[in-house]
Structure 1
Amino acid sequence: MRVVNSSTSDFLHNNVKVFRSRVSKTAWQGISVAIIALTVATAAVAYLESGQISIASLLEAQRTNFALWILDIVPFIFAFWGQYSSTVLAYEASAMVMDQTQELRDKADSFEKQARHSITHDLLTDMPNKELFYDRVEQHIVSPRGQTIFSVLLIEVSNYKEISDTLGRNSSDSLIKQIAVRLESAFPSPYSIARLESNTFSLLVSEELSERSVLELAESVHRVLHDAFFVEKVKVSAQANIGIVHFPLHGTDVDTLVQRAGIALYMAQNSNKGSAVYDSSFDAHSPKQLTLMSDLSHALENQELELYYQPKVKVSDGSISGAEALVRWNHPKHGLLGPDQFIPLMERTRLIQGLTLWVIQEGFSQCAEWHRTGLDIILSINLSAKDLNNPELPDLISGIKGATGINPAWITLEITESSIMTDPDAAMGIIRRIHDMGFQFSIDDYGTGYSSLSYLKSLPLKELKIDRSFVSDILRDESDAVIVNATINLAHNLGLEVTAEGVEDQATLELLKEEGCDLAQGFHLGRPMPQSEFNQWCSENR
């Protein structure tokens, strides 16, 4: 405190000196004017009284004229008053500057706190978000000396999608806010509650609970959410399922705990109780996709993932234009797995960010190699919703670009309409940063998401991909044919290329050619292939 007071005093003293020097200058100007006026008045009186101006007449005028005596006092009054006023004004001005400076500092501190808060808290509910929740769990794991025993409850509002589809996004957001308020009021500290996903919450219990106690806690969660919610005067009921895990019994790291809580949550969905504690026996009775969760964290470490490439050809002449990178998992037990079998599971954890980083590294390196060997194609790489909410993604891409020597014009990053809607402002900011580096973007699976024309207009897009669900039946379904035609015309009017997915036969390809479609991909043109087979395919189809 003494240091602060001393620095404040020095700051005030220095400011006063500056202000006083400026105000004193004005005061001295006033004194100079007063002295000149006195001199002129004395000379005038001397001349009027004696008819001449001399030292003797000036002294005589000063000695005998009362009015000059008063004028003699004026410079001294100016000097005293000027110095006094300059000091007062200097202190007041300096104090004002200090007040305004402190106000700016307070505002800057407030903005900094808000920024830090927004990184670790959910924007809708102001609850801790997934990152803060994971951090708190990890802190419990490492302290003290790994001897802590705690539980995690994964709470999912199972009918959230139905409510959102029926009442709209704003109404479903209102429901989530009300649920958050109930949970926070029902489970204050030392409980720690977070919102992990759109309809998923977590409850961290930082103490050892018996099996009976933890089930009673889950039942209390159900009671908290039992009473009806009112959303825009509509009575709504929230149905919850709860998956429960214990540390260290069910896992020794946060990803494993969350994965197994997800397994327990799945079992809870199929039970009458609506809650379940994880048990290893669940793995034998749950679907294969769910049992894969425990193996996901080792897939990258064990180099079990591989990129396959599916050709994209020009509809006009059948020549190759590019390829889409599609990840495959060479599972030691289940064999070759497609992305639909494990990508959704990875998106529930932070593993998806590691997968994206690996795909970008592998894809950029391979594309650079193709161009070095004279194969001039554009590689498409998919980004998930989680990627578009990762503020580090532009810097990661920039680093990989520099390391591989890739030309951004050789890469198209595919995003879905729904991935943008999770946090539109954040997603748009990340997309623009990456686009500023020279990378192009494509809307994947167009027509299956929000299909918002406002986003098509504002996004820096190069391409629009028509989903296979519309393309596969255009020969038999007139509605699909109309949708494909309208989409092609819309994209061309917006200056975008159009790629049709799911082309399974020559007749479909010919119809797309008549409609003016630019590019196509599908099993009729080429299946996803390992890198060596893709290179061979390219050499045979050039």
Structure 2
Amino acid sequence: MPLLKKNKISQSLLSFIISFGLFSTIAFKVYFDRQEMHELEQKTILNSYSSDVEKAILNALQGPYLVRAAMRDYSYTQEQFETLAKQILNHSDGSQTIQLAPNGIIAYSYPLLSHESVINADLFKNKTIQDSLQKTIQTKQMQLDGPKELSQGGQGLVARLPIFKQDTLWGFSIAVLRFPEFISNIKPKLASASHRFEVWQKQDTNYRPLLANQTFDESEWLTQPIMIKNQQWVVGIKDQFILRSHTEIAVLLLFSLLLSSISCYLFFITARLREHEHNLEELVQKQTVELSEQALALKQAQSLSGVGSWHLSPDTGTRHLSAQAKVLFNSDSAEQTINAICNSIDSFYKNAFLNFINSRPNTPIELEYTIKINGEKRWFHELAEWNFKTNTLVGTVEDVSDEKHQQHELYRQANFDPMTGLANRHYTEKYITSLCPQNQYNSGLTLLCAEIKGFRQLEDIYGHNFINELQIIIANRLIEFAEHYHAFCAHIKPGCFLMLLKEAIIDEKLATFVDKLQHQVAGLIETAGTAHFYHFYIGVGYPHLQSLDAREQINTALIAMNECHSLEKTFTIYSQSLKDKLIAKSDLESDLRHALSTGKQLSMVYQPILNTKTGALVACEALVRWQHPVRGYVSPNEFIAIAEQSALINLLSRWIIAKVAEDCHRLVENNIRIRMSINLSRKQFSDAHLVKRLSQEKMTLFPADQEINLEITESALFQNTQYAISLMHKLKTAGFDLSLDDFGTGYSSLASIQQFPLDNVKIDRAFICNCVENPRDGLFLQTMSDLAHHLNLTITAEGVESSEQWQLVSDKGIDYIQGYLISMPLPIEKFIEFDPAP
């Protein structure tokens, strides 16, 4: 009996221990589940509150966007602004005020009460917000500032939205939110009285409390970050759950002693276990489906991106290809042997590929190589890394042939002229730089720049397509010519070609070489079905003799080439004096531009033209003069030539026309109505807009019925006869008279100019100065007078300086005269007083 009792006691004790252990275990399991549920509850409440805070602030920040959207014409009245701002504030709980700052100056604020101090405040003068303003302008996005002390009192968060008008800053739309009232008005949902909330503004490593002034401590708070425009905020939650949880575990332990709880908890635990098992099965199935979808997505991604993958087991000599990799290698099999690749890969890359494929790198390695597929050379880029878990080499492969071709095309575009295929100036400079420092050419270097004579005029006359065809023909000839001399050639600018020879060609040898270049590269060329003879202006430089960089080396040849224009020479060799002359010319061009902009140094004078028989004043010739403040008087021949070469001729022409028109009105006011002769330069005569511009100026600037005679040089007529005839007919139709100036100095005759619609011919003074002493000049004058009248032209003699000359030209039947005998060119004030009576 004692033994049996002892056993029962032992069994009872064992049963108690087992039961207590079982239910204690269950109690602690419930405790930890409660902890998880509590944490999930806090996260749910925190997510809800964070979302409410974010939505409330973003809703309040809609005000500036609404103001900007309503500004259709970027203007606003006080009444319009207040109406819109009132509606915005009525639907935005917590917004303190809406403001508008055109050009950064606050012009409107609603409500105005308590915000009067901000009106007319210039944001750009507030140094504390300059960084924020600049970031707002640069990003064109709203920027938040604060919360901070406001100038009108209290604390607030300031939101500034930039307003741009056609990419130009117009101003700012501003909203101010009250703090901490704004956040205090947001009530957390699902929260109990034990929950505590705080919102911090994160600034670097500091956390600034915005709600209840509670310190940030990650061990006490459950937090969630939110982004509010350019600011990062952190929302936190905590409660007194720990104390409650301790009480709950004590109660559970007490209830675990109750037998009635055993069956309930056993049923509950069993149900939970079954539910967990079911959830686990669903999770396994879901993960299986996700893995299948990920494999399909990877296959699709590889197909779309064109990147294949592969893996290689050690010592197998075969790698397994993905579907996309099979497409790239045009392979029917997913197994690819290394030997098969080596047989088709470019021999230059074979060793590098074998090192790549046999390596076991700790970090990713890459390789590019070329391989022939179906007879076509393709570029491949491979990236590989050793997987220590599976002991395999895993890699990707990509066909980069298009990228390589694009790189080649970009290189070609950057270094070669797309029209001719020759090297451009950029590549030429690099090439010269590579030659000169090496000093490997003991015989020296010769640099030639050759420009097509009259290139700009040819382009104006014949058009762009004609010029392109001409340059291509010359480029092809230049390539063939350069091959005989093993020379480098380039096309450095429109109409200008460069040639670099690896020897110094001088003296007679240079002249012979230039002559060959002229005849074999230029010379007779047929373009657009018409053959013309073309000529080069050639500048010569010797890079090995000058301590200059490549760019300046080319410039020396260009300077010498440009000198050919003024000297009418076939070629010119560079010297320092040429550069000095060019600098002086550039300075004079700059001074002329300044004179045209101010209009103070230029003036107009007028030389009278008389009727030879009656001596009556019938016309005058307008002549421009330039009195330089330092150089003094500058010859028109000098500065007009500069104006033509530098494209200032149109500005000078407009100034002359405006000044002559003004003086014509003064003549009319003084009852002087005569024909006004105005000179046209060769450059102006080739201007396609000449007729339209002159017609408009005649109609708008000159007195009504003013007779205007345009004097045209002989060279302008014969540079393109058909163009000249067409243009002159248009000028005649527009009401202008036309004169041929300085006749006799060129190669034309009256017979050759009869095709032009001229009204007058002006005989150059060279035929007048000796006409009394030289009978041949007198005969020449008589012949020109008879032919001119036969062609229904009037004729004018220039440079009459004596009464004998006047009498002679009168006897020869010449209609008009001008010269120093009558008068020197006069300013308008003296011209008005001019008396033609002897």
Task: Report the TM-score when normalising by structure 1.
Answer: 0.54
Equivalent residue for 1:299, pick from 584, 591, 595: 595
Q: Deviations over 1:485-539 (max 9, x none)?
A: 111111112222111001011110011111121110011111112222222325x
Number of corresponding residues = 352
Equivalent residue for 1:229, pick from 519, 531, 540: 519
Q: 1:394, CA displacement in angstroms?
A: 0.7
Does residue 513 in structure 1 map to residue 513 in structure 2? Answer: no
Distance change (3 Å), C-alpha of 1:270 and 1:184: same
In the alignment, is the contact (CA less than 8 A) between 1:154 and 1:265 conserved in 2? Answer: no
- The alignment partner of 2:597 has SS state of coil
Q: 1:314, CA displacement in angstroms?
A: 1.3
**Where do 1:375-394 residues align within 5 Å?**
375-394=672-691
Equivalent residue for 2:652, pick from 355, 359, 362: 355
Does residue 312 in structure 1 map to residue 602 in structure 2? Answer: no
In the alignment, is the contact (CA less than 8 A) between 1:502 and 1:521 conserved in 2? Answer: yes
Equivalent position amino acid for 1:444 in 2: D
Equivalent position amino acid for 1:400 in 2: E
- The alignment partner of 1:324 has SS state of strand
Q: Distance between the aligned counterparts of 1:267 and 1:455, measured in 2?
A: 29
Does residue 439 in structure 1 map to residue 439 in structure 2? Answer: no
Q: 1:292, CA displacement in angstroms?
A: 2.8
Q: Distance between the aligned counterparts of 2:626 and 2:648, measured in 1?
A: 14
Q: Deviations over 1:39-65 (max 9, x none)?
A: xxxxxxxxxxxxxxxxxxxxxxxxxxx
Q: Which residue is equivalent to 2:491?
A: 191
- The alignment partner of 2:745 has SS state of coil
- The alignment partner of 1:330 has SS state of strand
Distance change (3 Å), C-alpha of 1:285 and 1:182: closer
Q: 1:452, CA displacement in angstroms?
A: 4.1
Distance change (3 Å), C-alpha of 1:153 and 1:392: farther
Q: 1:344, CA displacement in angstroms?
A: 2.2
Equivalent position amino acid for 1:229 in 2: H
Does residue 242 in structure 1 map to residue 242 in structure 2? Answer: no
In the alignment, is the contact (CA less than 8 A) between 1:154 and 1:243 conserved in 2? Answer: yes
In the alignment, is the contact (CA less than 8 A) between 1:183 and 1:224 conserved in 2? Answer: no
Q: 1:183, CA displacement in angstroms?
A: 4.2
In the alignment, is the contact (CA less than 8 A) between 1:289 and 1:342 conserved in 2? Answer: no
Equivalent position amino acid for 2:574 in 1: A
Indicate the larger mover: 456-465 or 370-379: 456-465
Q: Distance between the aligned counterparts of 1:518 and 1:424, measured in 2?
A: 27
Q: Which runs of 5+ in 1 are unaligned?
A: 1-126, 129-135, 138-151, 161-176, 196-201, 206-210, 251-256
In the alignment, is the contact (CA less than 8 A) between 1:408 and 1:437 conserved in 2? Answer: no
In the alignment, is the contact (CA less than 8 A) between 1:322 and 1:380 conserved in 2? Answer: yes
Q: Distance between the aligned counterparts of 1:492 and 1:328, measured in 2?
A: 34
Q: 1:317, CA displacement in angstroms?
A: 2.3
- The alignment partner of 1:300 has SS state of helix
In the alignment, is the contact (CA less than 8 A) between 2:627 and 2:633 conserved in 1? Answer: yes
Equivalent residue for 1:334, pick from 605, 616, 631: 631
Q: Which residue is equivalent to 1:401?
A: 698
Q: Deviations over 1:300-346 (max 9, x none)?
A: 12323221111111111222111101111122221122212222232
Q: Which residue is equivalent to 1:325?
A: 622
In the alignment, is the contact (CA less than 8 A) between 1:260 and 1:294 conserved in 2? Answer: no
Which has the higher relative contact order, 1 or 2, with Cα contacts under 8 A spaced 6 or more apart? Answer: 1
Distance change (3 Å), C-alpha of 1:266 and 1:458: closer
**Where do 1:390-429 residues align within 5 Å?**
390-407=687-704, 410-429=707-726
Q: Deviations over 1:237-294 (max 9, x none)?
A: 97853289x99x99xxxxxx999955774399899994438x7x75656797686345
Equivalent position amino acid for 1:360 in 2: I
Equivalent residue for 1:462, pick from 756, 759, 767: 759
Q: 1:476, CA displacement in angstroms?
A: 1.4
Q: Distance between the aligned counterparts of 2:489 and 2:579, measured in 1?
A: 33
C-alpha RMSD of the superposition: 4.8
Task: Report the TM-score when normalising by structure 2.
Answer: 0.36
In the alignment, is the contact (CA less than 8 A) between 2:620 and 2:677 conserved in 1? Answer: yes
Q: Which residue is equivalent to 1:495?
A: 792
Distance change (3 Å), C-alpha of 1:370 and 1:189: farther
In the alignment, is the contact (CA less than 8 A) between 2:604 and 2:625 conserved in 1? Answer: yes
Q: Deviations over 1:439-464 (max 9, x none)?
A: 11011111222324455333222211
Q: Which residue is equivalent to 2:830?
A: 533
Q: Distance between the aligned counterparts of 2:568 and 2:754, measured in 1?
A: 43
* Higher share of residues assigned helix: 1
In the alignment, is the contact (CA less than 8 A) between 1:283 and 1:291 conserved in 2? Answer: no
Q: Distance between the aligned counterparts of 1:270 and 1:497, measured in 2?
A: 34
In the alignment, is the contact (CA less than 8 A) between 1:182 and 1:225 conserved in 2? Answer: no
Percent identical residues = 27
Q: Which residue is equivalent to 1:367?
A: 664
In the alignment, is the contact (CA less than 8 A) between 1:488 and 1:517 conserved in 2? Answer: yes
Distance change (3 Å), C-alpha of 1:305 and 1:512: same
Distance change (3 Å), C-alpha of 1:258 and 1:293: farther
Q: Which runs of 5+ in 2 are unaligned?
A: 1-417, 426-446, 455-468, 480-487, 525-532, 542-547
In the alignment, is the contact (CA less than 8 A) between 1:309 and 1:528 conserved in 2? Answer: yes
Q: Distance between the aligned counterparts of 2:761 and 2:493, measured in 1?
A: 40
- The alignment partner of 1:401 has SS state of helix
Q: Which residue is equivalent to 2:65?
A: none
Distance change (3 Å), C-alpha of 1:276 and 1:435: same
Q: Deviations over 1:51-101 (max 9, x none)?
A: xxxxxxxxxxxxxxxxxxxxxxxxxxxxxxxxxxxxxxxxxxxxxxxxxxx
Equivalent position amino acid for 2:796 in 1: T
Q: 1:403, CA displacement in angstroms?
A: 1.6
* Higher share of residues assigned strand: 2
Q: Distance between the aligned counterparts of 1:238 and 1:456, measured in 2?
A: 26
Equivalent residue for 1:276, pick from 574, 577, 580: 574
Q: Deviations over 1:2-36 (max 9, x none)?
A: xxxxxxxxxxxxxxxxxxxxxxxxxxxxxxxxxxx
Q: Distance between the aligned counterparts of 1:180 and 1:521, measured in 2?
A: 50
**Where do 1:241-260 residues align within 5 Å?**
241-242=538-539
Distance change (3 Å), C-alpha of 1:242 and 1:282: closer
Q: 1:471, CA displacement in angstroms?
A: 1.1
Q: Distance between the aligned counterparts of 1:324 and 1:347, measured in 2?
A: 20
Distance change (3 Å), C-alpha of 1:237 and 1:374: closer
Q: Distance between the aligned counterparts of 2:606 and 2:784, measured in 1?
A: 26
